Amino acid sequence: MRDALLAGLAAEIAGCRRCPRLTAFREAVAAQPRPAYRGQRYWSRPVPGFGDPAARLLVVGLAPAAHGANRTGRMFTGDSSGDWLFRALYRAGFANRPESRHRGDGLEVRDCFITASCRCAPPGNRPLVEELAACRPFLERELALLERVRVVVALGRIAFDTYLRARRDQDWGWPAPWGSVWD
């Protein structure tokens, strides 16, 4: 059931066009790819989270990279930030391979779900406050479906703040986040 709900949410995310600035930017990037990616078809849609629906580890990033996840359609895939992340997840036993190049590369994550605060690649890697607010309901719905999460790794201040706001909006309260465990 949870798998089907996450799949439905992923489809809804991929079809979102709420933010005109982000929609225009991600489509413009796809229309003028970097020379290294010419001839590749860009995903050029909002990027849903992915991973194990029964995950205990949640990784929250800022947003898809313009020529990474905006191109591949999978968070942290096809860019240098993904190189670092998947190498770390592999070493810790959460991924079956240390790299993520494209959606069909065979990567599987175990006991881990990977998502972002903003679902579209933003200009200058800087989403506006209202764009983050437009995406936050997607994160809230993912959090509601990921019932087993016990550890959250927020990659950066915006990801951290967005995660806490999403929890606050779910009446979760404001915990002291450092070194704490909640049941």
Reported as a single tens digit per residue, the pLDDT across 42-70 is: 999 999 999 999 999 999 999 999 999 99
For 2-169, the fitting CATH number among 3.10.20.740, 3.40.50.620, 3.30.920.30, 3.40.470.10 is: 3.40.470.10
Mean pLDDT across the stretch 172-177? 58
Task: Provide the pLDDT confidence category of residue 37 given band limits of 50, 70 and 90.
Answer: confident
Q: What is the pTM of this model?
A: 0.91
Give residues with Cβ within 8 angstroms of 163, minimum separation 6.
60, 117, 139, 152, 154
Give the C-alpha separation, 145 to 161, whole Å: 20
Task: Provide the pLDDT confidence category of residue 2 given band limits of 50, 70 and 90.
Answer: confident
Secondary structure E strands in the chain: 50-51, 57-61, 112-116, 151-154
Q: What are phi and psi of 2, to 5 degrees?
A: -60, -40
Give the C-alpha separation, 27 to 121, whole Å: 10
For the cut 80, the answer to whether the pLDDT of residue 105 exceeds it is yes
Mean pLDDT across the stretch 175-181? 59
